[in-house]
Amino acid sequence: MQTGDKFVHTFEVTPLIYERFIEAYADRNPLHVDAEYAKARGFKDIVMFGNILNGFVSYFVGECLPMKNVYILSQSIKFAQPVYMHDTLEFNAEVTDYIEVVKSYGFKFYFKNQAGVKVAKGEIQIGLII
Amino acid sequence: MNYDKILEELNVIFISVLDNDDIKINGNTTAADYEEWDSLNNILLVVAIEKHFKVKITSADFQSWKNVGEMAKTIETRLNQ
């Protein structure tokens, strides 16, 4: 893996992911569970939890890279647009740097939905377990 | 960039990475001075230093540093090469 390498993976926000997220974290903010509340505030339906996308980032690091001896050192994400149930998100990541002395790769990433709208973007720094 | 300016910019990096606004490093500062300066943050510091100063740190550099002053001198040397 080297600077400039690109990765693409597609995720779907399924009811199972949404329900398990609530079960695990007990976040029942009305924006995420009450459709009438969300619609009254300009959204087309309940908004998915932003941190579901962080779970997708975790999957990318743990399962999509060419090596398994990885761990996340830091991660940031900015949410630009709402994500809804059943959205199909295309995750795009690019290796931005490799700091050889500490065996650490940096990535920039973004998610775009099925309409081609960027819904979130961020950065990841991972380390390699040697 | 001279040594003092490098220390000044390193201080900003240390504050950010170690998440401690009270940090005030000098040439004699070591990891023992800040409990937040653990092994993971040590890696993040090197990552931030390479990205900020756009210099390459070698394993020999990394292993030879006994304090922040030696770190700053390495950066100064790389910047002036």
Query: Does residue B55 sit at the A interface (CB-CB below 8 Å)?
Result: no
Q: Which residues contact A108 (CB under 8 A, 6 or more apart)?
A: A93, A94, A96, A121, A122, A123
Q: Select the more confidently predicted residue: A130 or A115.
A: A115
pLDDT value, residue A72: 97
* pLDDT tens column, B11-36: 999 999 999 999 999 999 999 999 99
Residue-wise pLDDT for A67-88, tens only, equals 999 999 999 999 999 999 999 9
Asked if A127 and B50 come within 8 Å (Cβ–Cβ), the reply is: no
User: Does B44 contact A at CB distance below 8 Å?
Assistant: yes
Q: Which residues of A touch B47 (CB under 8 A)?
A: 73, 99, 102, 104, 106, 125
Query: What number is the ipTM of this complex?
Result: 0.83
CATH number assigned to the domain comprising residue B29: 1.10.1200.10
In this predicted structure, what is the pLDDT of residue B67? Answer: 96
Give the total number of structural domains in chain B. Answer: 1
**Superfamily per CATH, domain A6-13+50-128:** Hotdog Thioesterase (3.10.129.10)
pLDDT score of B81: 84
B43 touches chain A (CB under 8 A): yes
* Structural domain harbouring B55: 3-79
Task: Give the max Cα distance, chain A.
Answer: 53
Q: In 3D, which of A129, A122, A130 has the Cα closest to residue A58?
A: A122
More confidently predicted of B1 and A72: A72
